[in-house]
Amino acid sequence: MSDPYCWGIFREEAHSPGRESDDSEILRLTAKGLEAKGFQVELMTPDELGGSVETRPRGIFLMCERSEALQALRVLEAEGVREVNSPAAVFATYRNRMIAQFAEAGVAFVPSRLVATAGERVAVPRPMWVKRADVHNTQAGDVVYAADTDAAAAALALMATRGMARAVVQPHVDGDLIKFYGIGPGSPNGEPPWFRWFYHKEQNLRQFAFDQRALGRLVRRAAAALGLEIYGGDCIVTPAGELVLIDLNAWPSFALFREEAASAIAAYLSVRFGRSGR
């Protein structure tokens, strides 16, 4: 093929509850942006991965999260295909791995503890969140607010019936909930990385003062610790202005900034995949 050839992999529908169209649209717009830069792009679902590859892509941009798809992509990565985000980085967003990697890198993160979903009594002296230990929210019961010990026990028992051996418990942190999106460590010409944040709309917003530059530094450090290049997540601003990172995900929907983000992602990928312009 005369033009560089790459793949885009959609997120599994089960991993996009209520966001199926948002997730697929950011991938489609990114593909259009790459095509405008001279790439040939083939979009596919995770189920279409595997088997023999007639034409190896130069690069793969992916939103999938399940282990089976990531393992298939690891094979191609080992053969020299450039992938964003890398399968290792996506695996690192699994909560049971993220906790350890943040601790190793010294990233300030909400206190988190891995617990068994069965046979372990979890005391809840203050409101907590009980979250599945691997991938992020896929359905009701994956992330549960527990006001007391009984509520935590019920959430853990439900996870156990779904075959989840472990869960993560985190204290509820009072404050304003911020959501953020980020792309890359910065451009080759020295421009800062693309970064946007906004207040989550479903909250009693108090607009506590905080250092926006510190937010950017915290988020970039966290993304670097996991190896993420395209990412999003959540942070709490406490009444004292402290920033508490509570979640980091690989390639979010960028819903509020879709057009702008797709253009920035395509520009970033064109450099990563070896063509900065046509």
> Domain count of the chain?
3
Residue 142 lies in a domain: yes
Kindly state whether residue 90 falls inside one of the protein's structural domains. no
Domain range for 240: 176-250
Asked if 210 and 240 count as a contact pair (C-beta separation under 8 A), the reply is no
pLDDT value of residue 278: 41
Task: Outline where 199-257 has alpha helix (H).
Answer: 212-226
CATH at residue 126: 3.30.1490
Q: What is the pLDDT of residues 259-278, one digit of tens each?
A: 999 999 999 999 999 865 44
Task: Look at residue 103 in the predicted model and tell me its pLDDT.
Answer: 94
Q: Lowest mean pLDDT: which of 6-10, 49-53, 174-178, 263-267?
A: 49-53
Residue 92 lies in a domain: no
- Domain membership flag for residue 96: no
Indicate whether 165 and 196 sit together in one domain. Answer: no
Q: In the listed set 171, 194, 216, which residue is the last one of a domain according to the structure?
A: 171
Return d(Cα 61, Cα 219) in angstroms, integer: 21
Residues 244, 95, 233, 188, CA torsion sign: positive
154 lies in some domain: yes
Verify that 189 and 238 share a domain, yes or no: yes
**pLDDT tens profile 27-59:** 999 999 999 999 999 999 999 887 666 788 999
Token reading at 126: 């203050």
State the average pLDDT for the chain.
90
Which pTM was predicted?
0.91
How far is residue 68's CA from residue 70's CA, in Å, rounded to a whole number? 6
For residue 84, pLDDT over 80 is answered with yes
Q: How far is CA 79 from the centre of its chain?
A: 25
In angstroms, rounded to a whole number, what is the distance separating the alpha carbons of residues 37 and 257? 21
- Answer whether residue 150 shows pLDDT above 60: yes
pLDDT score recorded for residue 17: 64
- Would you say residue 213 lies in a domain? yes
Q: So what's the pLDDT on residue 19?
A: 67
| 197 in the same domain as 159 | no
Task: Indicate if 162 and 186 belong to the same structural domain.
Answer: no
CATH number at residue 71: 3.40.50.20
pLDDT tens, residue by residue, 186-226? 554 455 689 999 999 989 999 999 999 999 999 999 999 99
Same domain, 36 and 62: yes
117 and 133 in a common domain: yes
The pair of three-digit structure tokens given for residue 278, joined into one six-digit string: 């046509």
Ramachandran assignment for 194, one of left (phi > 0), alpha (psi -120 to 50 degrees), beta (any other): beta
- Rounded CA-CA distance 260/240 in Å is 33
- 2 falls in which pLDDT band (50, 70, 90)? low
Whether residues 160 and 186 share a domain: the answer is no
B/e letters for 48-58, b = 16+ CB within 10 Å, e = fewer, are: ebeeeeeeebb
Q: Is 120 left (phi over 0), alpha (psi -120 to 50) or beta?
A: beta
